[in-house]
Amino acid sequence: MVANLEANSALAASAGPGAWNDPDMLEVGNGGMSATEDQTNFSMWAMMAAPLIAGNDLTSMSSATVATLTNSEVIAVDQDALGKQGLLLSDNGSGMEVWSKQDSDGTIVALMNQSNAPANLTVNWSDIGLEPAQSVAVRDLWAHADLGTFSNSFSANVASHAVTVLKISGSGTEPGQTIYEGDANGNTLSGQAVVSPCDCLDGNAVGYIGNNALNFITMNNVNVASGGSYLMTIYSAVSGTRAFSVSVNGGAATQVPVTGTSFSMPVATSLVVQLNAGANSIQFSNPSAWAPNLDHIVISSLGAVTPGFNISYPTQDLYIASPGQSGAASIALVPTGGFTGNVVITCALPATMTGATCSSPGASLGGVNSTVASLTITTTAATEAALRYPSAPGSSALHAAQTQMAGHSAGDKGRGASLFYALFIPVPGLVFLGFGLGSKKARVRKLLSLLFVAIVSAGFSGLASCGGSSPASSSIGSSCSAVPSAPGGLSAGSTTSSATTLKWSAAGVNSTCAVTGYTVYQNNNPIATTTTTSYAVTGLSPSTAYTFAVAASDSYGKSGPSSAVGVTTGAVGASTPPGTYPVTVTATSAGVTQTTAFNVIVQ
């Protein structure tokens, strides 16, 4: 909100009936600000004669939101027939600002406190064009109360992040700020300096300043009533960093660096200058390099401006694509009153923004130019830490598992299905002939197996001698005579909180015939069969220990289990939930503290 206010302030000369500057919709009632801050938002938009566009859900407004959006006295400030936009009168450098707006029947003053503590703010009659001794009536537009008549000045204690809006009934002149356009008649453009269009105050700026001593602009007829110190705010456009050489009334030049992001969008840079009573001339040049494009300058009565700085966040929201990623923000720091010093930048994240951190290297202010400081918001995604360890059969739990799995394999060898033999015999009309032989006694089983093989071999010989042809698988004579040995090299990799991948080697599996598959055991229980030497186990619980082993099978039977591997699944760590989070940024230096706020949106 403050960033939009400050950006819109530079465009005051463009506002008027039929042409209203739009600092964006109101954030009143959207939940990102307090009720006090909502009032400040609404008040300052009215001070700028801006469109009052409600951006909240009108179907679920609190009574405080309704009261803010329907304050008829503040709305009247916005809708005044003169259509004047308010101007910043003074800023003490610590967030205490005085704004003024000419109204049809008086002057509207806004005393705004951006600091984190209540503060006394004062408007002087001389600053709003009134005679100091003049007695004028003052009304508080939020309290809806007449406060009485006052001479010389008026002071109020303003709460943190609040604004006091006053209507001062008395005729005066425009407050002590004057805008001078770079393309105004009467200015001197030398060399290549030329007026060109831009997205700025009156649509034009002066470019091609500098790169040699002949390319410059002199702004003539800069008038002040009395000689002394004045605050000059330069609005210029540049992509990157360039510098002006600024000379007042032919005096020594001051180097004024300017950093910006676009030649179409002016930025503000302030410095204190000494002006004479009456007309003054100010030259902008750079004898050795190109200078920024000059839009306009604002000359302000220095008044009570003390050294300090302002802080603003240039965009409304910072978007972070997903938990676990980071986002970078740029914080603008603008010195006032020639402030110099190192600025420490911190930020406060809401407790609901789990696992997120904020960091900034800070910045240094040199008394003249604004500085952009970086700020990084880092979020976290759910993290997993898995432990994988090989285990020897001597481990009691794993040994028990291996013994039990070995029992399963031995039992399989005693079943009749283990002695099922299939023969493809080229007999017309008979495609498949199967024999199943089973016995509970190992010696009988082996005898029957050998007898069966001998009979089949003799049968094939007879078929061949009768002119028949043997099938391609006629090597049945070398059929399996024992179960394969257990697979080796079992390991677990790519383990998460809910899954792991098992791998093993087939090279060490000893078998008199081809291995037909593998059985995977989890905690002593078979969970799957596969024909490959890897298997992805899913559906596991986080932070849980598991034991896995593998057995090999051929057409004779199944091996005992492999050496087991133990796996502990990962724990699910904290993750920053998606959502919108208000973040407060604080900048501190030499007793000056400024704050700004913006939303971080984690998608």
Are 547 and 507 in contact by the 8 Å Cβ rule? The answer is: no
CATH number for region 387-568: 2.60.40.10
pLDDT of 522: 95
How much is the average pLDDT of 362-388?
Answer: 68
More confident residue, 376 or 306: 376
pLDDT of 312: 58
Question: Residue 24 above 70 pLDDT?
Answer: yes
Could you give the residue ranges of the DSSP H alpha helices within 423-534? 442-465
Q: How confident is the model at residue 461 (pLDDT cuts 50, 70, 90)?
A: very low
2-174 under CATH 3.30.565.10, yes or no:
no
Amino acid letter, residue 85? Q
Question: Residue 173 above 50 pLDDT?
Answer: no
More confident residue, 596 or 518: 518
Q: Is 115 helix (H, G, I), strand (E, B) or coil?
A: coil
CATH class of 178-305: mainly beta
pLDDT of 479: 62
pLDDT of 455: 42
More confident residue, 164 or 331: 164
Return the percentage of the chain with pLDDT > 90, whole number. 26
pLDDT of 368: 55
More confident residue, 538 or 585: 538
pLDDT of 45: 93
Report the C-alpha gap between 499 and 536 in whole angstroms.
7
Which of 295-309, 500-514, 521-535, 586-600 shows the lowest per-residue confidence on average (mean pLDDT)?
295-309
Residue whose structure tokens are 């009247």: 76
* H or E stretch at 413: helix 396-413
pLDDT of 431: 34
Report the C-alpha gap between 384 and 391 in whole angstroms.
22
Which of 22-31, 85-94, 214-223, 448-457 shows the lowest per-residue confidence on average (mean pLDDT)?
448-457
User: pLDDT tens for residues 554-602?
Assistant: 888 888 899 999 988 877 666 788 888 888 888 888 778 877 777 888 8
Q: What is the 8-class DSSP label of residue 36? A: H
pLDDT of 408: 42
User: pLDDT tens for residues 68-91?
Assistant: 999 999 999 999 887 888 888 888
**Predicted structure pTM score:** 0.37
Q: Where are the domains of the chain?
A: 2-174, 178-305, 310-381, 387-568
Sign of CA dihedral 69, 72, 73, 79: positive
- Which tokens go with 400? 């028990």
How much is the average pLDDT of 165-183?
Answer: 71
Q: How confident is the model at residue 416 (pLDDT cuts 50, 70, 90)?
A: very low
Q: How confident is the model at residue 339 (pLDDT cuts 50, 70, 90)?
A: confident
- Which tokens go with 168? 């001062």
More confident residue, 400 or 92: 92
Question: Residue 436 above 60 pLDDT?
Answer: no
226-237 b/e (C-beta count within 10 Å ≥ 16 → b): eeeebbbbbbbb
Pairing of strands 106-113, 96-103: antiparallel
pLDDT of 336: 67
Question: Residue 469 above 50 pLDDT?
Answer: no
pLDDT of 419: 33
Which of 57-61, 100-104, 458-462, 500-504 shows the lowest per-residue confidence on average (mean pLDDT)?
458-462
Same CATH fold assignment for domains 178-305 and 387-568? no
* H or E stretch at 320: strand 317-320
Q: How confident is the model at residue 546 (pLDDT cuts 50, 70, 90)?
A: very high
Range list of β-strands (E), 337-482: 340-348, 357-359, 363-366, 371-378, 387-390, 420-423, 433-436
How much is the average pLDDT of 344-369?
Answer: 81
How much is the average pLDDT of 288-316?
Answer: 73
How much is the average pLDDT of 111-119?
Answer: 92
User: Percentages helix, strand, coil for the chain, rounded to the nearest 5?
Assistant: 15, 45, 40
Are 490 and 563 in contact by the 8 Å Cβ rule? The answer is: yes
pLDDT of 502: 93
Q: How confident is the model at residue 507 (pLDDT cuts 50, 70, 90)?
A: low
3-state secondary structure 195-255: EEECCCCCCEEEECCECCCCCEEEEEEEEECCCEEEEEEEEEEEEEEEEEEEEECCCCCEE
Question: Residue 209 above 80 pLDDT?
Answer: yes
Nearest to 100 by CA among 56, 54, 149, 166: 166
Which of 204-218, 377-391, 478-492, 578-592 shows the lowest per-residue confidence on average (mean pLDDT)?
377-391
Return the percentage of the chain with pLDDT > 70, whole number. 75
Among 221-230, 296-305, 423-432, which range has the highest average pLDDT?
221-230
More confident residue, 497 or 111: 111
pLDDT of 302: 60
Q: Is 393 helix (H, G, I), strand (E, B) or coil?
A: coil
pLDDT of 14: 72
Which of 143-147, 196-200, 546-550 shows the lowest per-residue confidence on average (mean pLDDT)?
196-200
How much is the average pLDDT of 233-258?
Answer: 88
Q: How confident is the model at residue 199 (pLDDT cuts 50, 70, 90)?
A: low
Q: How confident is the model at residue 367 (pLDDT cuts 50, 70, 90)?
A: low
